[in-house]
Amino acid sequence: MSQRQVLQGVMSLLRPLLLDVVPTIQQTAALALGRLANYNDDLAEAVVKGDILPQLVYSLAEQNRFYKKAAAFVLRAVGKHSPQLAQAIVDCGALDTLVICLEDFDPGVKEAAAWALGYIARHNAELSQAVVDAGAVPLLVLCIQEPEVALKRIAASALSDISKHSPELAQTVVDAGAIAHLAQMILNPDAKLKRQILSALSQIAKHSVDLAEMVVEAEIFPVVLTCLKDKDEYVKKNASTLIREIAKHTPELSQLIVNAGGVAAVIDCIGSCKGNIRLPGIMMLGYVAAHSENLAMAVIISKGVPQLSLCLSEEPEDHIKAAAAWALGQIGRHTPEHARAVAVTNTLPVLLSLYMSTESSEDLQVKSKKAIKSILQKCTYLPALEPFLYDAPPNILKHVVGQFSKVLPHDSKARRLFVTSGGLKKVQEIKAEPGSLLQEYINSINNCYPEEIVRYYSPGYSETLLQRVDSYQPLAN
């Protein structure tokens, strides 16, 4: 017999024990069922099919707290695997009893009930709505105010799971007055609690501008910035997620964050972590810089660009590199000063190599190409552009040559430097179709120089000179 069959046989044996006279047996049977269902979703399905749930729900209303905890544990274990199982739990009327359990005196029972509700609400918006309709949200907000830390954690996690699906659900949570309590608890020293609090606040703030403003009005800044210095990695990640969700809506909110010194804190946070933890911070910098050029300048003076280029070069994963490339593109695309600030840190060759490399994912290639294009269109810093002449593909070369043709006519020192560094030679070697934009740019560059130099550097000049030598008749005197 396979292991699964054995375990399912166990299920049918445990079922009658749930109604045993001795309460300890009942509790232990429930606990066993819960642990089995927790392990595997087939077993959870077996629990549902075996008609155990109505029994559990019935006795959940009646029995003592140990049984309630065990029964809520079973419900949680069944509900966490898939939306269908969670729906089965909702269909047998468990939500009302769980909500009644939330009003119990014992904090353990409340914790188990809140945990079960959180796992049910996690899957999709309909289940969340069912949980909200059962009246769970005000009770969860009351649970958050309880002194026990574990209960606070679970209640915060449940609120986070409820509010993450849609703006209406988040609004329901906000209407119950959750934000003030959540904001107070940011200062709590417990790391896991802070994780959940920050996650809940970010799920609320991500939906719309109004919700983000309400979160900001709860005076989380600058307290949230201390969370960015926490030892726990996930606290840092959730804190930067929260700041990102607030910053992405409007320029005013980003301005608020910049004025509170959030950008510097996020940059330091990026510097101190590695891997996926950095990702929300990188995206936050990109969102702030995308809104307006003043904000992008604020990011630049907070020393964000060296940090981002460091991320770009040393991170192994493609999606983080793509995010860093996108953020750099957003910073550099506004004005020549911004493009110069990005170009000075030598990020452009890195971006080019990422674009050209065949190993990068498509997303990374697309993002680095966009970043290069947007920065190049504003870049007037010629020393950074010169390497591009040598190894850029034609579609980027066009932009580079275009930039040169814009800058060279006005700057004589740049012209001299262009010639001495071999750029003019390279430009002559570029083959372009006559009449295309590239050819026009090349012509305008050639017009900045006297004809002899242009001819000197054009390819094949030595051959033409030698031909002239061959065909020259010396004057007979």
Partner 1 sequence: MIGTFSYAKFLKFLYSVPEAERGWEKSGVNGKLTAPLDWLYGLVRLPGRRIVTPVVNQMREAMATLARLQARSKAVGQQYYFRNSVVDVFRKKENDAAVKIQNWFRGCRVRAYIRHLHRAAIIVQKWWRSYLSRQHYQLVVKLAYYTMKMNLYNEMAVRIQRRWRGYKIRKYCFDYFYLKEYLRAVTETNDAIRDALEEFAEMKEREEKKAALEREEKKRDYQARKMHYLLSTKQIPGIYNSPFRKDPDPWELRLQKAKPLTHQRPRVKQKHSISLTSWLACTSNRSFPRSEILPPINRKQCQGPFRDIAEVLEQRYKPLEPTLREAEPINELKEAREDLRRQEWIRNVNDNMFLPFSSYHKNEKYVPSMHSSSKYGPNSYGCQRFRDENPKKWICPKDFQTVLPSFDLFSKYGKLYSKAGQIV
Q: Which residues bind partner 1 (CB under 8 A)?
A: 16, 19, 23, 64, 105, 222, 225-226, 228-229, 231, 258-265, 268, 294, 297-298, 301-302
Nearest approach, Cβ of residue 3 and partner 1 (Å): 25
Rg (CA), the chain: 32
Question: Which three-class secondary structure state does DSSP give residue 231?
Answer: coil
Instruction: Answer whether 418's CB lies under 8 Å from 424's CB.
Output: yes
Nearest approach, Cβ of residue 357 and partner 1 (Å): 35
- For residue 476 the two structure tokens come to 């007979």
- For residue 134 the two structure tokens come to 């059962």
**Listed residue (165, 169, 154, 23) closest to 83, CA to CA:** 165
Nearest approach, Cβ of residue 264 and partner 1 (Å): 3
Nearest approach, Cβ of residue 37 and partner 1 (Å): 20
- Choose between 272 and 361: whose C-beta lies nearer to partner 1: 272
- Choose between 261 and 422: whose C-beta lies nearer to partner 1: 261
Distance CA 170, CA 164 (A): 7
Distance CA 232, CA 330 (A): 30
- Dihedral class, residue 460 (left if φ above 0, else alpha if ψ from -120 to 50, else beta): left
Residue matched to tokens 């101190």: 272
Nearest approach, Cβ of residue 12 and partner 1 (Å): 10
Give whole-number Cα distances, 430 to 418, 423, 460, in Å: 15, 11, 13
Nearest approach, Cβ of residue 110 and partner 1 (Å): 15
- Choose between 189 and 450: whose C-beta lies nearer to partner 1: 189
Distance CA 388, CA 269 (A): 33
- For residue 180 the two structure tokens come to 């003030």
Nearest approach, Cβ of residue 299 and partner 1 (Å): 10
Distance CA 115, CA 155 (A): 7
Distance CA 127, CA 83 (A): 8
Residue 371 CB neighbours (<10 A): 28
Nearest approach, Cβ of residue 132 and partner 1 (Å): 18
Nearest approach, Cβ of residue 298 and partner 1 (Å): 5
Instruction: Answer whether 144's CB lies under 8 Å from 101's CB.
Output: no
Nearest approach, Cβ of residue 222 and partner 1 (Å): 7
- For residue 293 the two structure tokens come to 């050029």
- For residue 233 the two structure tokens come to 């990695």
**Residue-wise burial string across 290-307, b where 16 or more C-beta atoms lie within 10 A, e elsewhere:** bbeeebbbbbbebebbeb
- Choose between 55 and 166: whose C-beta lies nearer to partner 1: 55
- Choose between 265 and 308: whose C-beta lies nearer to partner 1: 265
- For residue 42 the two structure tokens come to 């087939």
- Choose between 260 and 366: whose C-beta lies nearer to partner 1: 260
Distance CA 249, CA 208 (A): 7
- Choose between 174 and 300: whose C-beta lies nearer to partner 1: 300
Nearest approach, Cβ of residue 300 and partner 1 (Å): 9
- Choose between 95 and 158: whose C-beta lies nearer to partner 1: 95
Distance CA 273, CA 261 (A): 19
- Choose between 58 and 456: whose C-beta lies nearer to partner 1: 58
- Choose between 9 and 422: whose C-beta lies nearer to partner 1: 9
Nearest approach, Cβ of residue 16 and partner 1 (Å): 5
Give whole-number Cα distances, 473 to 12, 463, 468, 470, in Å: 112, 18, 10, 8
- Choose between 16 and 147: whose C-beta lies nearer to partner 1: 16
- Choose between 260 and 356: whose C-beta lies nearer to partner 1: 260
* Cis ω for the linkage preceding 336 (within 30 of 0): no
